[in-house]
Structure 1
Amino acid sequence: MAAPCFLQLSSSTVVNVNFQRSEFGNFHSSPATHLFNPKHKISPIRCQSTSTDEPKTKRNFLDNASNMLTNLLSGGSLGSMPIAEGAVSDLFGRPLFFSLYDWFIEHGSVYKLAFGPKAFVVVSDAVVARHVLRENAFSYDKGVLADILEPIMGKGLIPADLDTWKQRRRVIAPGFHALYLEAMVKIFNSCSERTILKFEKLLEREDLVGGKTIELDLEAEFSNLALDIVGLGVFNYDFGSVTKESPVIKAVYGTLFEAEHRSTFYFPYWKIPFMKWIVPRQRKFHYDLKVINDCLDGLIRNAKETREETDVEKLQQRDYLNLKDASLLRFLVDMRGADVNDRQLRDDLMTMLIAGHETTAAVLTWAVFLLAQREIDSVLGWDAPTYESLKKLEYIRLIVVEALRLYPQPPLLIRRALKSDTLPGGYNGAKTGYAIPAGTDIFISVYNLHRSPYFWDHPSEFKPERFLVQKPSEGIEGWAGFDPSRSPGALYPNEIISDFAFLPFGGGPRKCVGDQFALMESTVALAMLLQKFDVELRGPPESVELVTGATIHTKSGLWCKLRKRSNVQ
C-alpha cells in the first residue's frame, strides 16, 4: 500500500514522499550506498529560486533613500568586503533568509549587508563560522540577540554576558548526562502517547459517524507536545497542554509570540519605558511574563524546600529511571557548591522553556513530511521507543537531522565583535581576510551554510543518507571535509563531523547545551507518530506557506489528514 505525502514549502517548493511498505526491507542489512531502492526514491526538494539571473525588483523611494543613507553612514567601515545593498522592501514579503541566500550566491561567502545606517556582516562559510564560534568564541557575544531576549530570559544561557555564561554553563551542562537522557526517553514516550491517544479518540469519534480520517494542525499539536516535554523534563511541571488549556499555557504562548515579534521587528520600541503601559501587546506581554515567573518561582521554592545537597558525581549516578522527580531543576538545586539566587534559576528555566519548546515543534513540523517508515516497522513494531531502540532507529535520526539541515532552527546565529578581528576570507573570498572593528554585528546564516553548493552535494535535495558518507574538502582551503568517523559513537551528526558546515545547534563553547535532549525528543515523537498513523496534507500544496520569525514555521498551520494504520509488517 502506498502512502503519498505532499508539502508546499514556498511558491515553488514541493516535497513528494511515496513509500511502498511491502518493499521497505531491512535498513540495517543494506550498505550505506544502497539505502534507497532506485524505483522508490524520494523526490528532491525544489526550493525557491535563488537564481541571480532573474530581474531585480524595481526599488521604491524608501529603498533608494535607505541605500543613500547606507553609503553615507556605513559605506567604508568594513574595507574591501563585498557589499549587498539591502532594499527595505526585502525585509517584507518573504523570509529574510531567502534574500540572504540570493546575496550569498551573488556576493560570496562573506559580505556586508547594509540597511540604512546599520551594516551587518553575513557569513555563509564553515571556516569563517568556525573562526567566530570556536576559535575566537570569547571575542564575540550575542549582540542584537541578547538585546532582544534579555527582557524575557534575563541572564539565561542564550542572552547572558560571557562571565555569567561561563559560570552557568559549568553548572547546567553536567545535568544533561547519560542517565538523565535515558530517563527523559520515558517522558518523551509518555507525552507522545498523550498526543497519540488524543488522535485515536478523535478517530474513534469520526468512525462512529462514518469517517475514516481526522484533520489536524500538526504544527499546533507538536507545539503542545514540546511544551509538555519541556515542562516535565526541565522543571517537573505538567502543563498538560495536549489535552487542556490554562492561564500558564496561554502565558507561555504569549511570551513565545512576543519573542518572535521582537526578533523580527526593525525598531525596538519596547525599550521606551512608558511603552509597556501604552502598547496593548506590551501590557499583555508583561502580564504573561508575571504569570510564568510566578509559576517558576513556586517550582523553585518547592525544589529548594526538598533539597538533598550532594556532589555532581553522585547526582549523575542517581537512579533516574525510578526517580519521582528526574528534572533538570532537581539536579541544579541539589548540586553542592552551586548555590544561586532564585532570579538566576528562573532565568535559566525561562531560557530552556522558550528555546526548547519552539525549536522542537518547528523541526517536527518539517520532519513529518520527510517520512520514512521502513525502520519503524522493523525496529519497533508496536513497542514504544526506548533509549536502546533509539540507537537502532538510524534512518529516523537521519530524517530529523536532514530536516534541521534544510530548515535550521534558528536560520541565523547572531554575534557581535567585542574587539577588532580579522575574519578569514571564506571560499573564493579575499586571501588576506576581512578586518572588522569592535562592535560589528555578524549574521552567521545557517540556512545558507546548510544549503551551500560548496559544502554539500545537491544541497537542496532531501537525502538523509548523505550523513553516512565521507565527503572530501575538494580544494576548499581550511575546511577538513565531512567525515562521520570524527565523532565515533555519536547518535547524531554534529559540527565536528562536518567541520562546521552543519550547525543546527551552533558550535564551539556556546553551542546549545540541550542538543541531545532536543534530537532524542524529536526522534521519539516522530517515530511514535509514524508508527500509528498515515499522514498527508489536507489541501493543495499551495495552501502551506513557509514563513520565519525566531524559527522557520508555517504561516497558517500544517493542516493534515491522519488515518490509523491498519497493520504493521
Structure 2
Amino acid sequence: MLSSTCGYGGFQKREVGFVGISGSSFFHFSSKANAKPKGPPFIRCQSTSTNEPKTRRNILDNASNLLTNLLSGGGLGSMPKAEGAVSDLFGRPLFFSLYDWFLEHGSVYKLAFGPKAFVVVSDPIVARHILRENAFSYDKGILADILEPIMGKGLIPADLDTWKQRRRVIVPGFHALYLEAMVKTFTDCSETTILKFEKLLEAEHSSGGNAIELDLEAEFSSLALDIIGLSVFNYDFGSVTKESPVIKAVYGTLFEAEHRSTFYIPYWKFPLAKWIVPRQRKFQNDLKVINDCLDGLIRNAKDTRQETDIEKLQQRDYLNLKDASLLRFLVDMRGADVDDCQLRDDLMTMLIAGHETTAAVLTWAVFFLAQNPSKIRKAQAEIDSVLGQERPSFESLKKLEYIRLIVTEALRLYPQPPLLIRRALKPDVLPGGYNGDKDGYPIPAGTDIFLSVYNLHRSPYFWDRPHEFEPERFLEQRMDLGIEGWSGFDPTRSPGALYPNEIISDYAFLPFGGGPRKCVGDQFAVMESTVGLAMLLQKFDVELKGSPESVELVTGATIHTKNGLWCKLKKRSNIH
C-alpha cells in the first residue's frame, strides 16, 4: 500500500477535462444491473460477461452472420473477427457483448453486423496509440455526425481546426480560482437538495415514519442541472425545487441527444423529418427554447463585458464575483472574439456533456455503497474527521480522499461513457496489444473504432478482482506484471492528481478519455461529485428500496437506470 501522499491528496496543475459524451454505443437496450454472471466472479449486484463462447445460434443469428460474411468481405488483414449475433443485441447492453467477445477474441478484434464493420479495442497499449501517440490521425467520426445538429461546433463534435481554436480559449477557464469558487456553487446547490430531503423526512417523522423513499437518480439529475447552469452560464434553473419551460426543454434535448446516440439509422437527417416526425418537431421546439435562453444570457454577458488578458482573468476574486461563470470568462477574454452561434454551441455542449454524466456517477456510487455498509461507515468516518458538520471547502476536498476514490471506482465499474468512438483519417497500424499480433493490425482510412472503456476498466489482465467494488484498489501500486508495452499502475507517476488518471494507470483507466482530445473539466466533475456524495452521507444513511437485482440499466451515451434508483433515506444514527 502507498501512503496518501503518493496518491490523490491535491490538485494537479494541468489541463482539465469534463466528463462528457465522448462516445456512444449506438444501441439502446436494458438489462438487469445484476444479471447472473456466466464468467468471472462478480459483485452480487452487477451484470457481467463470459469467456465461454456461444455454442448455439438460432436461425436469425446464422442468417445474420452469413449476410455479414457476404457484405463486409475480408479487410483488416488477420485481425480476429467476432461474428455479431443478432440475439446478442437484445436483452442487455451492447458493451456486455463486447466484453464477451473481448475475452474470446482478444484485445483488438473486428466486429461486423451486415455491411458495417468496426474495430473494437480493449487494451491500454492500443488506446494510448489512438488517443495520445497518434491522436490527430483520428476524429470523432460517427459521433460527430450524430451530435452536430445538437451541439453544432462545440468541443465534442467539432472538426479538428475548430477544436484546436476553441480548446485554447476554453481550457484556461478551468483555472484554480474558478474551481475554488465553484466548490461554493457545488455546496450551495447540494445544500438545497439536502434541505429538501430533511423537510421530507421531518414530514415523515410527524406521521410516525423514520425513512423517506426517493429516486436518487432523479434528484442527482436535478442537482447536476442546477450546478451546470450556474457554473457555466450563470443561470439558475432551480430544478431541485421547481419546474419551468426551460428545464423541460433541457431534459427534452438531453433525451434527444441520448436517442440519437443510440439509434442506428439517422432518420432525423431525412428531408422534412423535423416537420413530419412528432419527436423531431418537439426537439426543434425544445432547442429553440434553450437557444433563446442562451442567446439572452450571451447578450447580457456581452452588454457588461470587461475585456482583459487571460492572466488577469485568472486572478479575479471569483469567490466574491457576482458572475463567476465560464461564459463570463469567455466573453471577457481579450482577443477571443467569437460569434454568438459558436458561444451557444460551446454552452450547449457543456450543458449536455456535464449534466447527465455527473448524475450517473453519483447514482452508481450510491448503488454500490448501499450494498456495502462497511464502506458507507468508512466514508462517513472520513467525512466526520474532515468536515464534522461543516460544508466542504476547496481545501477540505483535498482531504476527502476516500470519497473521491468511491467516485473513481464507480467510474471504473460503470464508465461514462462506456465507449469512445474514433474514425481513422489515414491508414494506420494499430499495436497488437497484450497477447495480440506482434506486428500489429493495419487499418485503412475510414475505419470506425469502438474503444471500449468498459472492457479496459474490467480487464482481468490489468486489474485484480476487476468486477468487485473496491475503492481502495487505487492506492495499490501494480508494476512488473510482465506486460510488454504497459508501464503499470503507479500513483507516484502523477503527484498531486485529484484522481488516478490515465497517466497513473498508463491508459488502463480512462474515465475522461486521454491525450490532446481529452474532455475539458475532469477536476470540475470529480469535485462536483465528491461534494454531492459527501454532503449526502454527512446527513443520511442510504439503503436500496428493493433488491440490487431489481435495478435495471439502460445505456447509450451514459449508463443509467431504467426506472430510477429508489432508495430509503434515514437520518444518520452515528453522527459524531
- The answer to whether TM tops 0.5 is yes
Question: Which amino acid in the other structure matches residue 34 of structure 2?
Answer: S
Cα distance in 1 for residues equivalent to 2:533 and 2:95: 27
Cα distance in 2 for residues equivalent to 1:44 and 1:232: 37
Cα distance in 2 for residues equivalent to 1:475 and 1:552: 33
State the shift of 1:490 in Å: 1.0
Paired residue for 2:509?
502
Cα distance in 1 for residues equivalent to 2:485 and 2:311: 39
Paired residue for 2:500?
493
Structural mapping, 1:84-95, within 5 Å: 84-95=82-93
Structural mapping, 1:15-34, within 5 Å: none
| SS of residue in 2 equivalent to 1:114 | strand
State the shift of 1:284 in Å: 0.7
Checking the alignment, whether the CA contact within 8 Å between 2:45 and 2:548 is kept in structure 1 is: no
| SS of residue in 1 equivalent to 2:449 | strand
Paired residue for 1:274?
272
Which is worse superposed, 45-54 or 329-338? 45-54
Paired residue for 1:520?
527
Paired residue for 2:58?
59
Cα distance in 1 for residues equivalent to 2:543 and 2:69: 50
Question: Which amino acid in the other structure matches residue 413 of structure 1?
Answer: L
Cα distance in 1 for residues equivalent to 2:349 and 2:64: 35
State the shift of 1:334 in Å: 0.2
Checking the alignment, whether the CA contact within 8 Å between 1:45 and 1:462 is kept in structure 2 is: no
- 5+ long unaligned stretches in structure 2: 1-31, 370-375
TM-score (norm 2): 0.91
| SS of residue in 2 equivalent to 1:183 | helix
Distance change in 2, residues 1:57/1:326 (3 Å) = farther
Paired residue for 1:374?
381
State the shift of 1:349 in Å: 0.3
Structural mapping, 1:141-180, within 5 Å: 141-180=139-178
Structural mapping, 1:159-308, within 5 Å: 159-308=157-306
Cα distance in 1 for residues equivalent to 2:96 and 2:233: 37
Question: Which amino acid in the other structure matches residue 93 of structure 2?
Answer: P
Cα distance in 1 for residues equivalent to 2:193 and 2:521: 23
| SS of residue in 1 equivalent to 2:190 | helix
Checking the alignment, whether the CA contact within 8 Å between 1:10 and 1:546 is kept in structure 2 is: no
Distance change in 2, residues 1:231/1:169 (3 Å) = same
Paired residue for 2:17?
none
Distance change in 2, residues 1:49/1:299 (3 Å) = closer
- The answer to whether structure 1 residue 339 and structure 2 residue 346 are counterparts is no
Distance change in 2, residues 1:81/1:381 (3 Å) = same
Cα distance in 2 for residues equivalent to 1:306 and 1:408: 40
Paired residue for 1:552?
559
Paired residue for 1:539?
546
Paired residue for 2:118?
120
Distance change in 2, residues 1:540/1:46 (3 Å) = closer
Checking the alignment, whether the CA contact within 8 Å between 1:505 and 1:512 is kept in structure 2 is: yes
Checking the alignment, whether the CA contact within 8 Å between 1:179 and 1:316 is kept in structure 2 is: yes
Deviations 1:445-487 (A, max 9, x none): 0000000011111111111111112111411111110111111
Question: Which amino acid in the other structure matches residue 545 of structure 1?
Answer: E
Paired residue for 1:394?
401
Cα distance in 1 for residues equivalent to 2:329 and 2:466: 41
| SS of residue in 2 equivalent to 1:373 | helix
- The answer to whether structure 1 residue 427 and structure 2 residue 437 are counterparts is no
Distance change in 2, residues 1:554/1:48 (3 Å) = same
Paired residue for 2:474?
467
State the shift of 1:67 in Å: 2.0
Distance change in 2, residues 1:335/1:450 (3 Å) = same
Paired residue for 1:35?
none
Paired residue for 2:71?
73
Checking the alignment, whether the CA contact within 8 Å between 2:53 and 2:104 is kept in structure 1 is: no
Cα distance in 2 for residues equivalent to 1:56 and 1:346: 52
| SS of residue in 2 equivalent to 1:493 | coil
Checking the alignment, whether the CA contact within 8 Å between 2:34 and 2:44 is kept in structure 1 is: no
Deviations 1:367-406 (A, max 9, x none): 1133432211111111100011101111001110011001
Paired residue for 2:464?
457
Cα distance in 2 for residues equivalent to 1:273 and 1:195: 44
| SS of residue in 2 equivalent to 1:435 | strand
- The answer to whether structure 1 residue 353 and structure 2 residue 351 are counterparts is yes
| SS of residue in 2 equivalent to 1:151 | helix
Question: Which amino acid in the other structure matches residue 196 of structure 2?
Answer: K
State the shift of 1:207 in Å: 1.2
Distance change in 2, residues 1:272/1:473 (3 Å) = farther
Deviations 1:282-307 (A, max 9, x none): 11111111111111111001000000
Question: Which amino acid in the other structure matches residue 176 of structure 2?
Answer: A
Checking the alignment, whether the CA contact within 8 Å between 2:459 and 2:466 is kept in structure 1 is: yes
Paired residue for 1:562?
569
Cα distance in 1 for residues equivalent to 2:547 and 2:425: 49
Paired residue for 1:96?
94
Distance change in 2, residues 1:352/1:56 (3 Å) = farther
State the shift of 1:71 in Å: 1.3
Checking the alignment, whether the CA contact within 8 Å between 2:34 and 2:45 is kept in structure 1 is: no
Paired residue for 1:19?
none
Cα distance in 2 for residues equivalent to 1:554 and 1:60: 32
Deviations 1:45-99 (A, max 9, x none): 56434223365453333x3333223212223111100000112232221110000
Aligned-pair Cα RMSD in Å? 1.3
Deviations 1:203-238 (A, max 9, x none): 111111111111100000000000000000000000
| SS of residue in 2 equivalent to 1:561 | strand
State the shift of 1:323 in Å: 0.5
Paired residue for 2:424?
417
| SS of residue in 1 equivalent to 2:487 | coil
- The answer to whether structure 1 residue 109 and structure 2 residue 107 are counterparts is yes
TM-score (norm 1): 0.92
% identical aligned pairs = 83
- 5+ long unaligned stretches in structure 1: 1-7, 14-42
Checking the alignment, whether the CA contact within 8 Å between 2:33 and 2:45 is kept in structure 1 is: no
Q: How many residues align?
A: 532
Cα distance in 2 for residues equivalent to 1:187 and 1:473: 43
Cα distance in 1 for residues equivalent to 2:318 and 2:93: 43
State the shift of 1:159 in Å: 0.5
| SS of residue in 2 equivalent to 1:289 | helix
Of 319, 322, 331 in structure 2, the residue corresponding to residue 321 of structure 1 is 319
| SS of residue in 1 equivalent to 2:33 | strand
| SS of residue in 1 equivalent to 2:450 | strand
Checking the alignment, whether the CA contact within 8 Å between 1:534 and 1:562 is kept in structure 2 is: yes
Paired residue for 2:34?
10
| SS of residue in 2 equivalent to 1:505 | coil
Distance change in 2, residues 1:184/1:52 (3 Å) = same
Question: Which amino acid in the other structure matches residue 568 of structure 1?
Answer: I
Question: Which amino acid in the other structure matches residue 51 of structure 2?
Answer: T
| SS of residue in 1 equivalent to 2:154 | coil
Which is worse superposed, 511-520 or 535-544? 535-544
Paired residue for 1:26?
none
Checking the alignment, whether the CA contact within 8 Å between 2:52 and 2:104 is kept in structure 1 is: no
| SS of residue in 2 equivalent to 1:10 | coil
Larger RCO, structures 1/2 (Cα 8 Å, 6+ apart): 2
| SS of residue in 2 equivalent to 1:384 | coil
Cα distance in 2 for residues equivalent to 1:196 and 1:94: 34
